Structures are given as structure tokens and as C-alpha cells.
Amino acid sequence: MQDIKHRALRAICSCLKIKGVKNTSKDSMLEKIVSVYKLKERYGRITDDAEQFLTPTRKEPQCPYRLLNILFSDMFSEGLAQLGGAADRFQLDSGKASTNQLFWEGVQEAFTSNWHLFENLHFEDEVLGTLHHLNLKKIVHHDWKKLRAMWKNLNAEYKAVLARYTMSGTHTSDFFEFCHGRHDIYYLRKHLEAKPNLNSTVAADLPEGSHFGSTGRPPSILSSASSTLTTKRKGDKSEVIDLLHDMQADRKDKKTRDNQWQEKEELRLEREEARKVSEEEHKVSEEEHKVSEEECKVREAERQEEEYLYSQWERVA
């Protein structure tokens, strides 16, 4: 019986890949099996808890708006204004100064929290009224690097839009016309109007000679973000990839919006044409009604004249 138990325990150790138990006692093998089981159980719980942070997350439509609410809140706006400034002693000692990691870790904590101040659009107008479908309460667990890349993408695109908006020869005050359908860039503009002291931070390094290219087309999303990409360190590949993915998603979103706008425009033209046809038919109907009324009047006059003549004939008779 003892030999059977030993062989069974050795078989279990072999399955669990536990080495060094060939000549050990039964109790020693049991201790090692229990130890391995507890270790795997603890490791499994750790991986389950960390899975949402280890799994790459994709940006969803509500994410930029939630991020802007956080960055321009009273809690983070001062830190946003100081990005790129002189780092304090604690940041230097902790080695987190070069990427402003402490600031973005705080942003990440706020982004993944259920705080009602971040869960709704802060402005209302005709442009933002089309965003009623967004659910800012839905939280996507981005890490701090992804949130920083998302902000840099927004900032770079805002600079490109601002360059077009302030270009000489522009005769309109509608900022959204220069956003190419990017409601998130327009939302960033609304935050800056509410906190104009942050304009110099967000629009820093804006080229003075911003203008259209020789083709007459505005800069593309990739070209507008080129200055951001060139300043990145070579080792920070994941952030560059995230930024490129976000820009690619923005381009797809813009193409979708353009297609939707084209479909709406075609539908509007069809309705306009149908309205014109209806108006023409109504005019024809009115003309026919007028002709019918005139004919009735003529027939009535003829009838009255006949009655008069008949009455005169009866008198003579």
C-alpha cells in the first residue's frame, strides 16, 4: 500500500513538473504539491486582477471627451499648464520627470473612477448637440501612456486646426468649419474658451507661417502630428504605435462621418426636389381650380342671361 501511495505521489509530482522528489518521503512530496498548488492559485488571482490592465485597450468615441473633462478640471488644469516645465525634486528622484509620469498616473486614476464630474459633456450648442449618443459613463481602462498619447494626438490636431483658422484670408468665425468634422477638437476649443489661461500651453510651438500647401489642401492628420512623433524617444515605441492607431481610427471615423454627411446631403436634395415637385403640382392644381371657377362663373352668367330673355319673351307673349 505504501509503495502504491509513493508511486501515485511521484506521478502527481511528475505531472506538476516538480523535480527532486524521487527519493523523498511521502510527507515531503505532499508539502511540495501543496506549495505548488498555492503558488499557482495565487498567480492565477494576480493575473485575473491584472488582465484588464495588461490587455491592450482601444480608444472608444467617448474617451477623448472624458479625458478632456479631466485635464481641464480644477484638479488637473494647473498640472496641465505646467507640463514640460521644470520638474520638482520628487519627480527627479523617482525618475518620472521626463514623461510627467506622476501627472498622467493621476489622470489615469481619475479616468478609471466613477466621478460624476467627468461623465457628461460640459458644454451645449448646435455642434455638440449631435453627440447625445455618447456615453461618458462607460469607462475604458487605458493606462497612463495611452492617455498621454491620446492627449498629444488631440493637441497636435488642434494646432493644425488653429493654424488654418487663424490663417490670413479666413473670413469666418465658425471654428468647427476647420475641424474636418472632429467634434473632439471643437470640444477642446470650448474648454479653452472656458479656461483661456491654458491657451498658451495647448497652442505652444504653433508655427507663425502656418498655411495651406501647394495643392491647396489643408494638412493631413499624419502631417499635423509629425512634430509630435519626431520629438518622441526612439525607445518609446508603444506610445508611437498607440498614437498611430488612434490617428488611423480618427481617419476611419472621419471617412464614416463624410459618408454619413454625403448620404444625408443626398437625402436632403431628394426631399428638396420632392418638395419642389409638390409645389409645382400644387400650383397646377390651383390654376386648374381657378379655371374651373371661371368656367362656373361664365355658365352662371349665361344661365342668368337666358332666364332674363325668357322672362322678357313671356311678357311680350
Stretches in the chain below the pLDDT threshold 70: 1-5, 16-17, 20-22, 39-56, 84-99, 168-172, 205-258, 317
Residue 146 lies in a domain: yes
Same domain, 152 and 233: yes
Same domain, 143 and 42: no
Query: Which of 270, 287, 312 is the last residue in one of the domains?
Result: 270
Number of domains comprising the chain: 2
Same domain, 46 and 95: no
Q: How far is residue 147's CA from residue 108's CA, in Å, rounded to a whole number?
A: 7
Position 160: which residue type? A
Query: Taking Cα atoms as reference points, which of 158, 148, 147, 106 lies closest to residue 232?
Result: 148
pLDDT tens string 103-149: 999 999 999 998 888 999 999 999 999 998 899 999 999 999 999 99
pLDDT tens string 218-246: 344 334 444 444 444 444 555 556 666 66
> Which pLDDT value is given to residue 32?
76
> Which pLDDT value is given to residue 218?
39
Q: How far is residue 161's CA from residue 154's CA, in Å, rounded to a whole number?
A: 10
> Which pLDDT value is given to residue 230?
44
Query: Which of 52, 71, 93 is the last residue in one of the domains?
Result: 52
Residue 277 lies in a domain: no
Position 263: which residue type? E
> Which pLDDT value is given to residue 208?
45
> Which pLDDT value is given to residue 303?
85
Full domain range(s) for residue 24: 2-52
pTM, two decimals, is 0.50
Query: Which of 18, 34, 52 is the last residue in one of the domains?
Result: 52
Residue 287 lies in a domain: no
Residue 114 lies in a domain: yes
Q: What are phi and psi of 234, to 5 degrees?
A: -65, -30
> Which pLDDT value is given to residue 182?
93
> Which pLDDT value is given to residue 194?
93
Query: 228: phi > 0 → left, psi -120 to 50 → alpha, else beta; which?
Result: alpha
